[in-house]
Amino acid sequence: MASPQTLFDKIWQSHVVDVQDDGTTILYIDRHLLHEVLSPQAFEGLRLAGRQVRRRDATLAVADHNVPTTDRRQGIEDPESRLQVETLSINCREFDVPIFDMLDPRQGIVHVIGPEQGFTLPGTTVVCCDSHTATHGAFGALAFGIGTSEGEHVLATQTLRTSKPKNMRVLVDDPLPPGCTGKDLILAIIGRMGTAGGTGHIVEYVGRAFRDLSMEGRMTVSNMTIEAGARAGLVAPDDKTFDYLKGRPMAPQGVQWDAAVAYWRTLKSDDGAVYDREVRIDAGDIAPQVTWGTSPEDVVPITGAVPDPQDAPTEAKRTAMRRSLDYMGLTPGTPMTDVAIDNVFIGSCTNSRIEDLRAAADILRGRRVAAHVDAMVSPGSSIIKQQAEAEGLDQVFIAAGFQWRESGCSMCLGMNPDRVAPGKRCASTSNRNFEGRQGRDARTHLVSPAMAAAAAVTGRLTDVRQLAR
């Protein structure tokens, strides 16, 4: 009998085109997503070498990073942003690649629209020149970010040259406590593993805590796998996965759907399969999480305080912490709930899906954003925006004092005009609290959508459980 395999082993093995003597693998890529920021140089490379896109039917492009979240019919004001978005359209036309442009009703953040359209499917390999490609692993797809040159390689050959990463299992076998979401779970995991803890590995998330999550929650978890250093996260597909995908425009239909589901049901790790590493976390210990520093690993429960560099184990870590605290303008020992905020951002490929908007709206209903807080929400796609409006969520946000915007990457990284001003402090549902990420000298605290809504209402970081109804 064949030796037991992990889910990762199965997907990897089914995509090997060739293995060279030195172990380098040519790996087949089933799905290639593109956005305007990290693709222009890949198309330029093809053009210079006179090469074509091998499989346009397996490639999908969308403009998301530079697009304004205000009225788009006015076009893009910034000339560089405009050129980048126009260049994507020109490249896609020239190479005959399908594209959702800025005004397409299906436009949205690349990692939101892939699953939404059924372009992302279980058991596939998915790449995009974007590190948050890890999101698609929620569907049991091996999905990872690549560089632009690698993107050019995929466009030309539909393959990547790579070597097999190691496999890690993150096991959380008990249910999440009330008030905790996929975001709190993944932040707690990153806090435990460290921002380089998963380097060189693919992470499979196993256990009840992940099974209980909706597809939206699983996407949030998988999305931030890269913040723990691992390029891809995986959740074995189950009925929730299939229910989510059924009937999506690019998902298989009819008899093909039945055949696909039969195959997808085989996509799970065998009993006794061996992982290179294992991390086990007790979900019972998790409280809503918030970051205090400038790396996603700088995380504490909302019930905690700003940590003291003196308590760090190494001098390098003490130095890094002092630098972070200086940037963040925080003093060790300050309770996190004493930290006042200026901005709230609900959006990004991490937390902008319908469930995220519903969770935030539940907190906001009948409440008002604190007078000094500037709050905005940018739905993950135009389709989600429409759905939220049909449910009346837009009215809840607007009544509370939020700005209700169009979809895009927006204030997660501020390539469009949505930025946090220097020295201002933002409770954000995005994925990175790096120096300068949301704007030069901007200070970011990563939280779940409900936590962001709670912070908007009180004007400071807040334990959402105190506002829950």
Partner 1 sequence: MEKFTILSGIAAPMDMMNIDTDQIIPKLHLRTIKRTGLGKVVFDELRFNTDGSEKPDFVLNREPYRRASILVAGDNFGCGSSREHAPWALLDFGIRCIIATSFADIFYNNCFKNCMLPVTVGKDDWRLLLNDAADSDNPRLMVDLEALTITRPGGDQIAFEIDGFRRDCLLKGLDDIGLTLQRADKIDAFEAAQSEQQPWLYTSAVQ
Q: Tokens in use for 330?
A: 């925080």
Cα 246 → chain centroid: 22
Q: Which is nearer to partner 1, 123 or 237 (CB)?
A: 123
Quote the least distance from Cβ 263 to partner 1, whole Å: 7
Q: How far is Cα 81 from Cα 414, in angstroms, rounded to an integer?
A: 11
Quote the least distance from Cβ 17 to partner 1, whole Å: 5
Q: Which is nearer to partner 1, 317 or 368 (CB)?
A: 317
Q: How far is Cα 374 from Cα 365, in angstroms, rounded to an integer?
A: 17
Quote the least distance from Cβ 462 to partner 1, whole Å: 27
What are the strands, taking DSSP E only, across 81-182? 99-100, 125-128, 142-145, 159-162, 166-171
Crossing angle of helices 40-49/79-95, nearest 10°? 40
Cα separations in angstroms, 271 against 2, 4, 5, 23, 268: 12, 7, 8, 27, 9
Q: How far is Cα 9 from Cα 15, in angstroms, rounded to an integer?
A: 10
Q: How far is Cα 62 from Cα 409, in angstroms, rounded to an integer?
A: 12
Quote the least distance from Cβ 411 to partner 1, whole Å: 11
Residue pointed to by tokens 């905005």: 376
Quote the least distance from Cβ 292 to partner 1, whole Å: 15
Quote the least distance from Cβ 124 to partner 1, whole Å: 7
Q: Which is nearer to partner 1, 206 or 321 (CB)?
A: 321
Quote the least distance from Cβ 407 to partner 1, whole Å: 18
CB-based contact 166:276 (threshold 8 Å)? yes
- Cross-strand bridge partners of residue 126: 31, 143
